[in-house]
Amino acid sequence: MLRRLAVPALLLPVCPLATDITSLPARCLTLQHTLHLENTTILNVTHIPAPATVATPGSCQSSATVTSAPLCRVQFVINTTSTSAVHAEAWLPDTWFGRFLATGNGGTGGCIDYGAVDYGASLHFAAFGTDNGHDGAGGGAFLDHPEVVNDFAFRAIHVEAVIGKQLTEAYYGRQPAKSYYLGCSTGGRQGTQAALRFPADFDGIVAGAPATDWNHLMGWSGLLGHFVGTTTPGDESPPPNTSPKFIPAAMFPLVSAEILRQCDALDGIVDGIISEPDDCDFNPQALQCAVDQTSGCLTPFQVQTLRNIFSPVIGTDGNLIYPRYSPGAEADPVSQALLGPVFFQFTADWERFAVLNVTTHNFTDFGLQDIALFDKINPGGISTFDGHLEAFRARGGKFLTYHGRRDPLISSTNSKRMYELIASTLGTPSLDDFYRLFLIPGMGHCSGGLGPTAFGQGTAPGLNVVNASSHNILLALVDWVENGAAPATVVGSGANGTERTFCRFPMQSVFNGTPFVCTD
Ligand SMILES: *[C@@H]1O[C@H](CO)[C@@H](O)[C@H](O)[C@H]1NC(C)=O
Ligand SMILES: *[C@@H]1O[C@H](CO)[C@@H](O)[C@H](O)[C@H]1NC(C)=O
Ligand SMILES: *[C@@H]1O[C@H](CO)[C@@H](O)[C@H](O)[C@H]1NC(C)=O
Ligand SMILES: *[C@@H]1O[C@H](CO)[C@@H](O)[C@H](O)[C@H]1NC(C)=O
Ligand SMILES: *[C@@H]1O[C@H](CO)[C@@H](O)[C@H](O)[C@H]1NC(C)=O
Ligand SMILES: *[C@@H]1O[C@H](CO)[C@@H](O)[C@H](O)[C@H]1NC(C)=O
Ligand SMILES: *[C@@H]1O[C@H](CO)[C@@H](O)[C@H](O)[C@H]1NC(C)=O
């Protein structure tokens, strides 16, 4: 449950707001007629007393979302070209602290992240969200619409920032003092892309579990399906997976138990969490059926499947294409999206609709040639695997990124790889002055998993229980941007008051007999 926060001491207004609070509801409603923003049509304006449930448009959301602060809600659409448009919402709290917050999306969607928008408004940001240029969780809108792909790849967040800041100023009578971004997964990629392509859009960015190196991520995801013998995405009526390579979901607990047997103790404590999965040299041979053994074990084909899953993808030129699946992450049920009987929907949508511009495709022989094609076409310049953050850094921008080490959809090892790419591009081994990566042992994709993994990441209710910058990554970002206080660690909160301190890369989380500590 989302506990409503008292006003955090550090998150004071950046300067006092002169607007007469009593006039805000009336002032809100006039926006319907007074807002004149480039390429933008105002669809609806309402003032919402809190707490309230509101109807949400589009096909993604359930019918109601809670608003946790009294606010002015503006629904609008920005035409980005003659064949593309971004639907967006502004949630403008009555008590505004002078800050702007844009939020991102997930997967191949298409869905305003209302939870994140509400979270931002509850912390007194002028909070925005968009549909990323198309409605719905799938990628069908990409077909024959390269400008919709461009919105998805880079433009939706940019117009969210440009138009959103103008709208904020029109309502409150002055420009936001600082601008922030919050997103995870595809949202993490969008935040990274913003820092690379539009370095003036945000002063601070939180980019969780970023889907950077998107083309290779889509390729790796497709290859995982190939390793387990899947051929068909869910929307094309997949046949049952009868491949000898396939490992049924019911067998994975056996696999996970063996992985823990081999690797759980590496971090100094047997607690079900592999703090550093890159140290886990898992050998699946131990699971292979002995002569005469027919249950509780794997066939040689299945053992080979595990070898493939837990090996990095290497190109024909010998270069790394994408890191391996993290041992331990297969225990998260979401892993079935990649390792289950159906070909990964995001890869299928991306290849069919954005890359090939076809409605159906045979994925049976998915392989390195598909990844080479993704690289060659790189629709919308989506790759987002580039270290050139000079301009963002020179403006004083601050970047916080985090990644669950038990992430079942995107390897956290890729976030280390991104860090190293930026460091080598900028010619500096440490990025501490503007870019910090926190690796989160036990956490799944963006949130959840094992242990205390709530630290204000705002992607789901219940994550934002502590309002200090030491325990809340969005508040930590504000503190860094506005007070120069860079976060050394992030503390996660869990059930029954449990906590764990998370380390910034390249420090390691080590159990020293009492709690975990961070060491070089
Ligand atoms: C939020 O932070 C302030 C100041 O640090 C504190 O007084 C208040 O109790 C906190 N509220 C919650 C809900 O933790
Ligand atoms: C946006 O595009 C739609 C459809 O082409 C058009 O009807 C509308 O007038 C455009 N709005 C603006 C503000 O350009
Ligand atoms: C605008 O929002 C109000 C309040 O949610 C709703 O009653 C009304 O139907 C909406 N109007 C349009 C045109 O969507
Ligand atoms: C408005 O749309 C045109 C293209 O249709 C684009 O060139 C221009 O940059 C857009 N303006 C904004 C503020 O996005
Ligand atoms: C997509 O394919 C359709 C049907 O073959 C074709 O008419 C259209 O021009 C293609 N669009 C693009 C952007 O290549
Ligand atoms: C898909 O490709 C495989 C391998 O090339 C082939 O055996 C199979 O018949 C194809 N399926 C369809 C529906 O065309
Ligand atoms: C929290 O404490 C309660 C009551 O002691 C217990 O039932 C529950 O299992 C605990 N939860 C966790 C996650 O440890």
Active-site residue, selected from the candidate residues 213, 332, 407, 479: 407
> Is the pLDDT score of 450 beyond 50?
yes
Closest residue by Cα to residue 195 from 147, 154, 151: 154
Q: What is residue 367's predicted lDDT score, i.e. its pLDDT?
A: 98
Residue 293 pLDDT grade (very low, low, confident, very high; cuts 50, 70, 90): very high
| Angstrom distance (rounded) from CA 321 to CA 99 | 39
Residue with tokens 């049509």: 41
> Is the pLDDT score of 467 beyond 90?
no
Mean of per-residue pLDDT scores for the chain: 94
Which residues contact ligand 7 via a Cβ below 6 A? 495-496
Q: What is residue 2's predicted lDDT score, i.e. its pLDDT?
A: 34
What is the torsional sign of CA 111, 113, 117, 122?
A: positive
| Lowest-confidence segment of 54-58, 243-247, 362-366 by average pLDDT | 54-58
Which residues contact ligand 6 via a Cβ below 6 A? 362, 364-365
Q: How confident is the model over 266-288, as a mean pLDDT?
A: 96
Which of 44, 67, 76 is the pocket-test mutation for ligand 3 (most atoms within 8 Å of CB)? 44
- Its pTM stands at 0.95
Active-site residue, selected from the candidate residues 185, 335, 447, 469: 185
Q: Residues near 313 by Cβ (< 8 Å), separated by ≥ 6?
A: 216, 219, 220, 223, 320, 321, 322, 324, 371
Q: Clarify whether 185 is annotated catalytic.
A: yes
Residue 118 pLDDT grade (very low, low, confident, very high; cuts 50, 70, 90): very high
Query: Which burial class, exposed, middle or buried, applies to 486 when counting CB atoms under 10 A from its CB (0-12, 13-18, 19+)?
Result: middle
* Burial profile 178-199: b = 16 or more Cβ within 10 angstroms, e = fewer: bbbbbbbbbbbbbbbbbbbbbb
24-215+381-450: CATH class:
alpha beta
Active-site residue, selected from the candidate residues 145, 361, 445, 471: 445
Q: Clarify whether 471 is annotated catalytic.
A: no
Q: What is residue 60's predicted lDDT score, i.e. its pLDDT?
A: 84
Tell how far the Cα of 55 is from the centroid of ligand 3, in angstroms.
Answer: 9
Residue 463 pLDDT grade (very low, low, confident, very high; cuts 50, 70, 90): confident
Q: How confident is the model over 86-114, as a mean pLDDT?
A: 96
Terminal Cα-to-Cα distance of the chain (whole angstroms)? 36
> Is the pLDDT score of 62 beyond 80?
no
- What is the CA angle 257-258-259, rounded to 5? 90
**Position in ligand 4 atom list of the atom nearest CA 39:** 1
Give the model confidence (pLDDT) of 176-217 as tens digits: 999 999 999 999 999 999 999 999 999 999 999 999 999 999
Give the model confidence (pLDDT) of 215-238 as tens digits: 999 999 999 999 999 999 999 989
Closest residue by Cα to residue 2 from 375, 442, 457: 457
Q: What is residue 148's predicted lDDT score, i.e. its pLDDT?
A: 98
Residue 335 pLDDT grade (very low, low, confident, very high; cuts 50, 70, 90): very high
In this structure, which amino acid lies at residue 351? E
Domain ranges in the chain are 24-215+381-450, 216-380
Q: What is residue 63's predicted lDDT score, i.e. its pLDDT?
A: 58
> Is the pLDDT score of 432 beyond 80?
yes
| Angstrom distance (rounded) from CA 205 to CA 451 | 25
Give the model confidence (pLDDT) of 359-415 as tens digits: 999 999 999 999 999 999 999 999 999 999 999 999 999 999 999 999 999 999 999
- Which ligand is closest in space to the CA of residue 159? 4
Q: How confident is the model over 294-319, as a mean pLDDT?
A: 97
Give the model confidence (pLDDT) of 8-50 as tens digits: 445 666 654 555 656 889 999 999 999 999 999 999 999 999 7
**Position in ligand 7 atom list of the atom nearest CA 495:** 13
Q: Clarify whether 84 is annotated catalytic.
A: no
Q: What is residue 143's predicted lDDT score, i.e. its pLDDT?
A: 98
Q: Are 97 and 21 in contact (CB under 8 A)?
A: no
**Position in ligand 7 atom list of the atom nearest CA 498:** 14
